[in-house]
Structure 1
Amino acid sequence: MTVLKVRPPAVTPAARTEAGTNRGERLSALAQQHGALVALVLLAAVASLSFDSFATGDNIENMALSSAFLAIVALGMTFVIITGGIDLSVGSVFVLGGVLAAWGSRHGTLVALLLPLAGCGLIGLVNGVLIARTRMAPFIVTLASMLAARGVMLNITDEGATTYLVDKNSLFIRLGQDELLGIGIPVWITVVLFVAGAVVLRRTRFGQHVYAVGGNEDAAALMGAPVARTKIIVYTLSGLLAGLAGALNAAWLASGVTILGFGMELDAIAAVVIGGTLLTGGLGFISGSLVGVLLLKVIQNIINQVGSLDSAYQQVVSGGFLVLVVIAQTWLGRRQQVI
């Protein structure tokens, strides 16, 4: 009996090149999407070994709660940046939302929630209309609205001299201070919002339009995507989420503090970019923005744990992280183009 030996087909150089290309693309995509998560895990592990109080339940709970407000703002910023825009007004809108919520809490929980959402959502809507319909630069429009929101807040609070307090017996304050299963309500709200945001961005037609507008606005228009409407929605959403974060912060602090929010827009942008979203638009991850926020908060907590370092170092380290991430994103983008 004759046994025929069948040789496997030889792997051609072209096939090897294609396999290497696909592997390189996958590695680049994974590095861009999950690089911040790896950094977060490593940093948290080192901090846990270095500081006895870092991995305690109270410290983790405090970090999660303080991260919730910035995370909600960063969620709206993620949608904006994916479209290729920027929103510099969210810090001032955040403060305004807190002041409006504290003032409205005197008239009931419903007013305390609806007033900041209506006022801050209107600011976001105006931003979106001006940017989408007049084609004004997002930087200029949102810079103007940042100053306007800050001016409205100062007018309401008599140049910051008046701080509105939230009644400790009101139902509204429970949104910021109560816990569910040992976790603060603002943290649960943040988780729900991020899950909803991820579903909208990845599983809906609107999410596809967001990516298309950020990738190539002219091509998106040719494909029938409603470019102007998409921009208006994302800026309105950014204003709504900043106002909601401010309202929850007011419920947590039981007052509409007027000195918060300075530089918050920069922290939100840094968290989004660190999480893997391209500043040029067209690529971004909701989960990455949450990881970026947590990474910034862990850095801040480590500096607090050290004790001998000034809090300003947190900004220095955050800026350093941002520069490294942008350099990495640029390198990965060029590498993918070469591949």
Structure 2
Amino acid sequence: MTTTNPDAPVTHATTGPPEETRPVGSARSDRLSALVQQHGALAVLLLVSLVASFSFDSFATGDNIGNMATGSAFLAIVALGMTFVIVTGGIDLSVGSLFALGGVLAAWGSRHGTLVALLLPLSVCALIGLVNGLLIARSRLAPFIVTLAAMLGARGLMLALTDEGADTYLVGKDSFLAELGQGSTLGLANPVWITLALFVAGAVVLRRTRFGQHVYAVGGNEDAAALMGAPVARTKILVYVLSGLLAGLAGALNAAWLASGVTILGNGMELEAISAVVIGGTLLTGGLGHVSGSLVGVLLLKVIQNVINQIGSLDSSYQQVVSGAFLAVVVVAQTWLGRRRHLM
């Protein structure tokens, strides 16, 4: 017969290793990996900007910073929509063509007033995004194929409207649309203010709304999201509509800034947007990302481009080489950090 001492301390079985043998730094290392994955691009941006400020006298000037901010605004708006798409695990290759189409439609519509100049590109590009979303969500077609077809179709529509690029529609210098694209408020260009407002709204929607939770859930595990009652198909449709809408808006603002609908713009913009989003910490596999990181990714690409222009002796094609190298390094780092966190 055995007896127990009621005053003895009670011990409980644990499924993990004893506390003294458990790696003390594993949780800290996990947090550090997540921090690097999410904010590594910001650290690189600050470092590159600091080095460039000491290396080139004209880099940190107000004019140069203003030009970089304005030039980044249009790509940033496209990247904002791309962030929502990639977080769901999708991809949108049509945004470059929608950007060009939106600019042409805005310039054409400016002859009938600012309201038409804005509503026409937004409506048409959002409609194309809706078609993309329906084919992807309802017909279960691959996003790559669907948006590739939309890219070709939107580019063809734009060329048809401009007689194969022979016609260039101009935006009146005295119109409100021109003021929207070329004017400034408190020392910052209006497109920059619009971009900042859109990113604040995008951050709130993605982080603080039920729709944003559904976006993360669909990207994390589509089947589990459906079992939890998340509207998977509707969420996918909405993110592609949003991507098309923002691409059209960026094109309209760019046409207002240039005072014309330039047909040669937008080539390769979809790849730039994807690069910026991934460099900013959003996983290509979906389920993880934030809009502030995409903004940092855009700024990093533009700063690199500006530094190459400051050097002067390098061809502009080097910017694509450096951007591609950055993207490759980031994807490898994301994969390594993700595996490392799962093993801990």
Aligned to 1:211: 216
Shift of 1:82: 0.3
Aligned to 1:132: 137
Name which of 249, 255, 261 aligns with 1:256.
261
* Gap regions ≥5 residues in structure 1: 1-11
Name which of 96, 99, 105 aligns with 2:101.
96
Aligned to 2:202: 197
Shift of 1:226: 0.2
Pair 1:295-2:293 in alignment: no
Name which of 61, 70, 79 aligns with 1:74.
79
Name which of 184, 191, 196 aligns with 1:186.
191
Partners of 1:108 and 1:16 lie apart in 2 by 72
Describe the superposition over 1:115-151 as per-residue Cα deviations: whole angstroms up to 9, x where unpaired.
Answer: 0000000000000000000000000000000000000
- How do 1:142-181 and structure 2 match up within 5 A? 142-181=147-186
Pair 1:337-2:342 in alignment: yes
Name which of 27, 30, 33 aligns with 2:35.
30
Aligned to 2:326: 321
Shift of 1:16: 6.4
Name which of 63, 66, 80 aligns with 1:61.
66
Aligned to 1:281: 286
Aligned to 2:128: 123
Secondary structure of the residue aligned to 2:281 is coil
Relative distance call for 1:173 and 1:85 in structure 2 (3 A) is same
Describe the superposition over 1:93-117 as per-residue Cα deviations: whole angstroms up to 9, x where unpaired.
Answer: 0000000000000000000000000
Aligned to 1:304: 309
Partners of 1:230 and 1:180 lie apart in 2 by 36
Secondary structure of the residue aligned to 1:136 is coil
Paired AA for residue 150 in structure 2: S
Paired AA for residue 289 in structure 1: S
Relative distance call for 1:18 and 1:198 in structure 2 (3 A) is farther
Pair 1:46-2:47 in alignment: no
Shift of 1:310: 0.4
Describe the superposition over 1:192-251 as per-residue Cα deviations: whole angstroms up to 9, x where unpaired.
Answer: 000000000000110000000000000000000000000000000000000000000000
Relative distance call for 1:204 and 1:18 in structure 2 (3 A) is farther
Aligned to 1:9: none
Partners of 1:307 and 1:123 lie apart in 2 by 40
Pair 1:236-2:244 in alignment: no
Aligned to 1:6: none
Aligned to 1:245: 250
Secondary structure of the residue aligned to 1:34 is helix
Name which of 110, 113, 118 aligns with 1:108.
113
Partners of 2:286 and 2:211 lie apart in 1 by 15
How many pairs does the alignment contain? 328
TM (normalized to structure 2)? 0.94
Partners of 1:230 and 1:170 lie apart in 2 by 37
Indicate the percent of aligned positions where both proteins have the same amino acid: 79
TM (normalized to structure 1)? 0.96
Secondary structure of the residue aligned to 2:177 is coil
Paired AA for residue 149 in structure 1: A
Secondary structure of the residue aligned to 1:14 is coil
Secondary structure of the residue aligned to 1:163 is coil
Shift of 1:169: 1.0
Shift of 1:21: 2.2
Shift of 1:19: 4.2
Describe the superposition over 1:10-49 as per-residue Cα deviations: whole angstroms up to 9, x where unpaired.
Answer: xx95266364222122101100111000000000000000
Aligned to 1:5: none
